[in-house]
Amino acid sequence: MRGEIVQRVVEYISKEIVENPDEVTVTIVEEGPDEVIAEVRAAKGDMGRVIGRRGRVAKAIRVLAQAAADEEGLQARVEFID
Amino acid sequence: MASVEWVEVRGPSVEKAVEAALTELGLESRDEADVEVIQEPQRGFLGLGGQDAVVRVKRKERSGSGGRARRTRSGNGTGGRSAGSKPADGGPRKDAAPRAPRESQARNSGQRTATAPRPAAAARPAERPKPKERPPRPPRDDDDREETPIEEQSADIRRFLVGLLAAFGLEGEVKERIEDGAIHIDVVGEQTEALVGPKGSIVQAALELCRTIVQRRTMDGAKIRLDIAGYSERRREALRIYTTRLADKVKAEGGEVMLEPMNAADRKVVHDTVAEIDGVRSFSEGEEPRRSVVIAAE
């Protein structure tokens, strides 16, 4: 599956950060031939942790998601879905 | 993100200089760059009087790099792709200052007042200064986090990074040690180069996540130093080389030069390097986060 590494990396990080890891899901949506979107969902109270103050954690997750995408020759976007 | 297309770097050997330049450009292998040797290293006597190698390393053009801001060099003649295949041109060049191409300063303009050439080794987007160290967060009444021993914080980070490598499918080793009350983590292994990123951006992001992991459990996380694939050490070395060159120039020509703003750790590298050189001194000016080192002739 394309975006497999992105999915694994984003899910791993998100689960490490939240209080309820079981409620974290990361879904890959293929956006184009070279682009995937990782959709992150988490328990209500956990979204703030995944995003972090001033979006610092979200930004870091995006950087790592792109690093993962680079391994597959893809562009990655991460969307945090409330 | 605007992407630097080429840098010139000086080093004790061509290999070392190329390696530092590749790191600076965020490239993983020499295949991704055109390398031009501007000056071969020359051996001095007992380490004195020798000359460093100087290389110019240019990012190879990639198809499909659509989103990247590109910038072509102007008025300089050597901007084409052919630059990389040019053979070493022997004699030392007078103007071998490391500059990122987005630097607007004109070549040979002779300016050397407070405008500061941007160090290739330490180049950082000036428009995005490093945020100040955050103030300690005030205690909250509902905060059920406890103080966690530094060893446990360190173990948590190690565990997180080991898992992260696994998620990436990269082989590597995570070493931890506690020194001077700070957690030092080294992620090593050839494949971990993939987690460096342009100007260490992935290292920075991973560090942010490490902090987040620790702060989940404890109110007062210890200071964390993270290095991946030796990036931080190579970068410090490149900064030393750059500082030495600049200090030598100030010594020869007099006056003073202000470097671009740097964080405290980088400024210390500059101060320590200048302290080793007779005839120059250094001091810092300006307010954080735009505090800069000035190198001045004595």
- Per-residue pLDDT tens digits for B141-167: 555 566 789 999 999 999 999 999 999
| Residue B71 pLDDT > 90 | no
Cα separation, B252 vs B241, whole angstroms: 17
Chain B stretch 142-181, residues whose beta carbon is closer than 8 A to a beta carbon of chain A: 160, 163-164, 166-169
**Residue with more model confidence, A12 or B36:** A12
Cα separation, B253 vs B52, whole angstroms: 20
Q: Chain A contacts of B67, Cβ < 8 Å?
A: 75
- What size, in residues, is chain B? 298
- B241 and B278 fall within a common domain: yes
- B57 and B12 fall within a common domain: yes
Q: Which residues contact B13 (CB under 8 A, 6 or more apart)?
A: B41, B53
| Residue A32 pLDDT > 70 | yes
Cα separation, B24 vs B18, whole angstroms: 10
Average pLDDT taken over every residue of chain B: 74
**Residue with more model confidence, B270 or B18:** B270
C-beta neighbour count of B298 within 10 angstroms? 9
Cα separation, B199 vs B20, whole angstroms: 11
| Residue B190 pLDDT > 70 | yes
Cα separation, B150 vs A33, whole angstroms: 46
B65 touches chain A (CB under 8 A): no
| Residue B88 pLDDT > 70 | no
Q: Which residues contact B134 (CB under 8 A, 6 or more apart)?
A: none
| Residue B81 pLDDT > 70 | no
Q: Residue A66: closest CA among chain B residues belongs to which residue?
A: B202
- B203 and B254 fall within a common domain: no
- Count up the domains in chain B and report the number: 3
Query: By the 8 A CB rule, do B167 and A8 touch?
Result: yes
Residue B92 lies in a domain: yes
- B241 and B223 fall within a common domain: no
Residue B134 lies in a domain: no
| Residue B11 pLDDT > 60 | yes
Contact B209 A60 (CB under 8 A): yes
Token output for B124: 């950082």
Residue B145 lies in a domain: no
User: What is the model's pLDDT at position B18?
Assistant: 80
Contact B164 A61 (CB under 8 A): no
Residue B128 lies in a domain: no
Query: pLDDT, tens digit, for every residue of B40-63?
Result: 766 544 434 456 777 778 877 654
User: What is the model's pLDDT at position B35?
Assistant: 81
Return the ∠ at Cα A2 (arms to A28 and A14), rounded to 5°.
40
How much of chain B exceeds pLDDT 70, in percent? 64
CA B274, B279, B283, B285: dihedral to nearest 10 degrees? -110
Q: Tell me which residue of B13, B6, B76, B78 sits closest to B39, measured CA to CA.
A: B13
Residue B250 lies in a domain: yes
Domain harbouring A56, CATH code: 3.30.300.20
Return the ∠ at Cα B107 (arms to B102 and B108), rounded to 5°.
155
State the residue range of the domain holding A39: 4-81
Token output for B285: 């000016």
- B176 and B267 fall within a common domain: no
A81 touches chain B (CB under 8 A): no
B209 touches chain A (CB under 8 A): yes
The stretch B1-12 carries a mean pLDDT of 63
User: What is the model's pLDDT at position A73?
Assistant: 95
- B63-77, B81-95, B254-268: which has the highest mean pLDDT? B254-268
The alpha carbon dihedral of B4, B7, B12, B16 has a sign of positive
Q: Chain B contacts of A70, Cβ < 8 Å?
A: 194
- B10 and B105 fall within a common domain: yes
Q: Chain B contacts of A76, Cβ < 8 Å?
A: none
Closest Cα in chain A, distance from residue B195 (Å)? 7
Closest Cα in chain A, distance from residue B189 (Å)? 16
Query: By the 8 A CB rule, do B116 and B260 touch?
Result: yes
State the residue range of the domain holding B76: 6-113
Angle of the A4-17 helix axis to the B150-168 helix axis, nearest 10? 160
Token output for B248: 């030598």
Cα separation, B12 vs B95, whole angstroms: 18
Closest Cα in chain B, distance from residue A57 (Å)? 7
Q: Tell me which residue of B68, B233, B219 sits closest to B142, measured CA to CA.
A: B219
| Residue B15 pLDDT > 90 | no
Phi-psi region of B272 (alpha: psi -120 to 50; beta: other; left: phi over 0): alpha
Q: Where a domain ends, among B206, B229, B252?
A: B229
Residue B87 lies in a domain: yes
A73 touches chain B (CB under 8 A): no
B88 touches chain A (CB under 8 A): no
Cα separation, B158 vs B140, whole angstroms: 28
Q: Could you tell me how many helices (H) and strands (E) chain A has, helices first?
A: 3, 3
Q: Taking the complete model, does pTM exceed 0.80, yes or no?
A: no
Q: Residue A64: closest CA among chain B residues belongs to which residue?
A: B202
User: What is the model's pLDDT at position A38?
Assistant: 98
Of B163, B168, B216, the CB nearest to A68: B168
User: What is the model's pLDDT at position B216?
Assistant: 86
- Count up the domains in chain A and report the number: 1
Residue B122 lies in a domain: no
| Residue A75 pLDDT > 60 | yes
